[in-house]
Amino acid sequence: MTRYLTLAAACLLAACATISEAPVNDATLTLQPQQTLALGETISLRYERAIDSRCPSNARCIWAGSIIYHFTLIGKTASEPFMLDIDRPTFDTKALKGVRIVLATTDPPPVRMTHQEPPPHPVTVSITNI
């Protein structure tokens, strides 16, 4: 009898372990540099900065360059920095298994002129539970 009760209890615990609440709310967000937005009760996403190494419009370059967007996923006990760009538009978090962040920005900011700082620009990302 106790064997069956133990088996039943193990099955109940296993079922509870597989049914969990989504750690983040699915959303598409547009963030400004240095902006932090909540993704759930204890999780937030911070858009740190964009590094724009594209060739200035009034220069000749041997490499076209790219824009790399830097983020930090902030949880209750840890944070996880990551980057997104056109070549690597998807990030699957290690800290929050099952959460995917995808670069959704389609229009990059205008190319700057030589000796100009690139202007700060927003970025759009999609957050989903996978």
Residue 3: inside a domain, yes or no?
no
Q: In this structure, are residues 124 and 107 in contact, taking their beta carbons and an 8 Å threshold?
A: no
Q: Which of 104, 105, 79 is nearest to 93 (CA)?
A: 79
Flag whether pLDDT at 31 surpasses 90: yes
Flag whether pLDDT at 2 surpasses 70: no
Q: In this structure, are residues 101 and 24 in contact, taking their beta carbons and an 8 Å threshold?
A: no
| Total of domains in the chain | 1
Residue 93: inside a domain, yes or no?
yes
Flag whether pLDDT at 7 surpasses 70: no
Between 109 and 104, residue with greater pLDDT = 104
Q: How far apart are CA 25 and CA 29, in angstroms?
A: 11
Residue 121: inside a domain, yes or no?
yes
Range(s) of the domain holding residue 123? 21-129
Residue 26: inside a domain, yes or no?
yes
Flag whether pLDDT at 22 surpasses 60: no
Predicted local confidence at residue 25, as pLDDT:
78
Displacement of CA 26 from its chain's centroid (Å): 12
Residue 123: inside a domain, yes or no?
yes
Predicted local confidence at residue 9, as pLDDT:
45
Residue 112: inside a domain, yes or no?
yes
Q: In this structure, are residues 70 and 45 in contact, taking their beta carbons and an 8 Å threshold?
A: no
CATH of the domain at 94: 2.60.98
